[in-house]
Amino acid sequence: MSIAPFTALASERDPSIGELALALAGELGEVDADGARAELDHLGAELAPAAGTGPAAELDALREVLSVRQGFTGNREDYDDPDNSMLDLVLERRTGLPILLSIVYVEVARRAGILLAGVGLPGHYVAGHFGQSPPLLLDPFNGGAPIALAEPIEIEPWGPHATALRMLNNLVGSYSRRMDLGLAIRAAELRLDLPLGEADGAAFRVELRSLRARLN
């Protein structure tokens, strides 16, 4: 099955974050979308027996499947590598950035019938189970470890557009630091396909012009 264009998915009200992540990767390089989907389906089937056991037990099972059995963990040695932001490569290599590992957890859980959502915290991105209040948070980058916040803050699930924007911000920075201006520009262009506020849109257009000027 082919990948829908990123622009088309970005214009949808509530696209699948998994499909949006694959479309993003496809705009920046070759991507094995069918292989990624098949792997997510396989992992979801492995998790499925835990569905309906309650939020805490479901997260324990998710941690067992993805961290213990399958070995998903954060890439600390080469954190800034753009490959850490490509969903198909993260599934293949079992390592990546917090936001991509969280997408893996969310997509595997969804296939198993467990409702999980990504959560953007200051300086970090995690996954949350909103089946109880307050929601239960876990850290896919750190082996799915439970998160206990030092201070109570309002926790809201992040939608696919906000998540994709954070992914693209990471990639603009990563490609720029590597002096790969062509891909930095492409990532910066993709940000403008997302629904943005006026201030963000203006700031991103300024940054895009700056990147293009550097290329020339």
Query: What would the mean pLDDT of 132-141 be, rounded to a whole number?
Result: 94
- For β-strands 145-147 and 136-139, DSSP reports them as antiparallel
- What pLDDT is attached to residue 216? 75
Specify whether 83 is located in the same domain as 130.
Answer: yes
Specify whether 171 is located in the same domain as 142.
Answer: no
- What pLDDT is attached to residue 47? 98
Q: Is the pLDDT of residue 97 over 90?
A: yes
Specify whether 98 is located in the same domain as 189.
Answer: no
- For β-strands 116-121 and 124-129, DSSP reports them as antiparallel
Q: Are 165 and 150 in contact (CB under 8 A)?
A: no
User: Taking the model in full, what pTM does it have?
Assistant: 0.96
Query: What would the mean pLDDT of 68-73 be, rounded to a whole number?
Result: 97
Q: Give the integer Cα–Cα distance in Å for 178 and 1.
A: 32
**pLDDT per residue as tens digits for the range 166-189:** 999 999 999 999 999 999 999 999
**Residues making up the chain, counted from first to last:** 216
Specify whether 83 is located in the same domain as 181.
Answer: no
By residue range, what is the domain housing residue 31? 6-147
Give the three-state DSSP class for 121.
strand
Q: Which two tokens stand for residue 33?
A: 């979308």
134: left (phi over 0), alpha (psi -120 to 50) or beta: beta
Specify whether 65 is located in the same domain as 143.
Answer: yes
Higher per-residue pLDDT: 132 or 15 = 15
Specify whether 208 is located in the same domain as 104.
Answer: no
Specify whether 16 is located in the same domain as 104.
Answer: yes
Specify whether 138 is located in the same domain as 170.
Answer: no
Alpha-carbon torsion (40, 24, 191, 28), positive or negative: positive
Q: How many domains does the chain have?
A: 2
Specify whether 116 is located in the same domain as 193.
Answer: no
